Amino acid sequence: MRTPVTQSEIVVGLDLGTTKVSAVVGEVDADGITILGVGNVPCRGLRKGVVSNIEWTMRSVREAIEAAQTMAGVEIKTVYAGIAGSHIRSQSSDGVCAIAGREVTRTDLDRVLEGARAIPVDADRMILHALPREYVVDAQDGIRDPVGMSGVRLQARVNLVTAATSCVQNVIRCVERCGLTVADVVLEPLASADAVLSEDEKEIGVAVIDIGGGTTDLLLYADGGIAHTSIIPAGGNNITSDVAAGLRTPMAEAERLKRNYGCALGRMISDEEEIEVPGVGGHSPRRVARRLLSDIIEPRVEEIFAEARRRIEETGLLEQVSSGCVLTGGAALMEGMVECAEEILGMPVRLGFPVGVKGIVQLVQGPQYATGVGLLRYGAQQLADRAHQQAPAARGRQQSQPDEAEMAAEPGGKSGFWSWFRAAF
């Protein structure tokens, strides 16, 4: 349940990917999220989702932010940054606390999640998210939102996401050196899932596979909560490398051929189709069958989906992923990806397009923008939560003000006497 924001604010999602940096700017108000602008630039400073060159990453971040600022016509100061990479790990944890006033409040939720976080973690790792799967009040389990329920004991079953501290700090350092503030660092598959999934899919059970340039991110929902997260250290760049080696062509040309003519299932291509492949180092271009390109791509794509299926099976949740799989990320746009995924995963598969936003939606209408839009939605929810927490305090102050005013207006100047008395003693 999303709480509306009372006044409009600018929120920016910064997707730091292996192949591109994307900045999505939105205005958040009571009516929802309005897309104002997008900045999208290539990036060479990350390898498999981890910063490998700070200078190059900073340059890409700066260019993406400037492009987004120009399009949106606003000044960007704070961003929600995405993070991924093979250093991300997931584990289960439980938190327990006594319910303070015999009725569950937001404070009790914070305390029980804090208890779930209190587990030993390696010195070089940090907890990124504590994602509640379900709450238990006394003996009643399967509760999504226990606020307002009566009981004496609150338990939370939580999925903890941890990351290498140095990797998180490097992302923050790159962004801060560009003169920006990082409001929060968010797991990218979590953001992608939030942007493309419906509540029904989360309830029934769904897998999200985000195929990026350097990594493939896997996220599983079961019974409405996040049950598992995992990172596969292979992605679109591995396919490009295979094409460059197999067709003996430069990496840039291999990427172009993959995007324009690539297909993940060879039998979808007729034998008569041909493509022109540029040579390396002055060699003349040559014409080859398009089927040859597909024969290079297909094994790598099969490998990625087979690994994803293996990891889903390991969790024991394969039977609970009833609504199927959603593909996001730039590589998901390749012809034949959905059909190949359906064959290997053995479940219905669809492409994930960002939903729940308005404005210039054409700018973010693609699976490759799912993470950027998801970061925007995450930031909007953070603002809403903050406004929700501040509302009771503001009401309390408003109620106390009339009492003070009445005291001041009391006949006989009693409030003045009592002020003098308190000051004197």
Strand, coil or helix: what is 184?
Answer: strand
Q: What is the pLDDT of residue 283?
A: 84
Radius of gyration, alpha carbons of the chain: 26
Quote the tokens at residue 8: 């409009």
Main-chain phi, psi angles of 112, to 5 degrees: -70, -35
Least confident segment among 62-71, 197-206, 250-259, 393-402: 393-402
The type of residue at 74 is V
pLDDT tens figures, 339-385: 999 999 999 999 999 988 888 888 888 899 999 999 999 999 888 88
- Nearest-angstrom CA–CA distance, 191 and 71: 23
The type of residue at 155 is Q
Average pLDDT, the chain: 86
Name the percent of the chain lying above pLDDT 90.
Answer: 54
Largest CA distance in the chain: 102
- Nearest-angstrom CA–CA distance, 94 and 159: 9
Q: What is the pLDDT of residue 263?
A: 93
- Nearest-angstrom CA–CA distance, 419 and 405: 14
Least confident segment among 7-11, 274-278, 386-390: 386-390
Taking Cα atoms as reference points, which of 348, 343, 304, 342 lies closest to residue 322?
A: 348
Q: Inform me whether the pLDDT recorded for 35 exceeds 80.
A: yes
Q: What is the pLDDT of residue 228?
A: 87
**Where is 357: in which H helix or E strand?**
strand 357-359
- Nearest-angstrom CA–CA distance, 124 and 165: 6
Show the CA angle centred on residue 18, arms to residues 345 and 90, nearest 5°. Answer: 55
pLDDT tens figures, 105-153: 888 998 999 999 988 888 899 999 988 888 999 988 888 889 889 999 9
Cβ(244)–Cβ(251) below 8 Å: yes
Q: Where residue 23 falls among pLDDT bands split at 50, 70, 90?
A: very high
Q: Where residue 398 falls among pLDDT bands split at 50, 70, 90?
A: low
pLDDT tens figures, 37-64: 999 999 888 888 888 889 999 999 999 9
What residue ranges do the domains of the chain occupy? 89-162, 199-352
Contacts of 68 (CB under 8 A, 6+ apart): 12, 23, 24, 25, 37, 38, 39, 76
Rounded mean pLDDT of 9-32?
90
| DSSP assigned state of 99 | -
Main-chain phi, psi angles of 39, to 5 degrees: -120, 125
Contacts of 52 (CB under 8 A, 6+ apart): 45, 46
- Nearest-angstrom CA–CA distance, 96 and 117: 11
pLDDT tens figures, 265-311: 888 888 888 999 998 887 888 999 999 999 999 999 999 999 999 99
Q: What is the pLDDT of residue 339?
A: 93
The structure's pTM equals 0.85
Can you name the residues that pair with 47 across neighbouring β-strands?
50
In CATH, the number for domain 199-352 is: 3.30.420.40
- Nearest-angstrom CA–CA distance, 391 and 240: 52
C-alpha distance across the termini of the chain, in Å? 51
Cβ(254)–Cβ(236) below 8 Å: no
Going through 30-124 in order, the beta strands assigned E by DSSP cover 32-42, 46-47, 50-51, 78-83, 89-98
Q: Inform me whether the pLDDT recorded for 15 exceeds 60.
A: yes
Q: Which CATH architecture is the domain 89-162 placed in?
A: 2-Layer Sandwich (3.30)
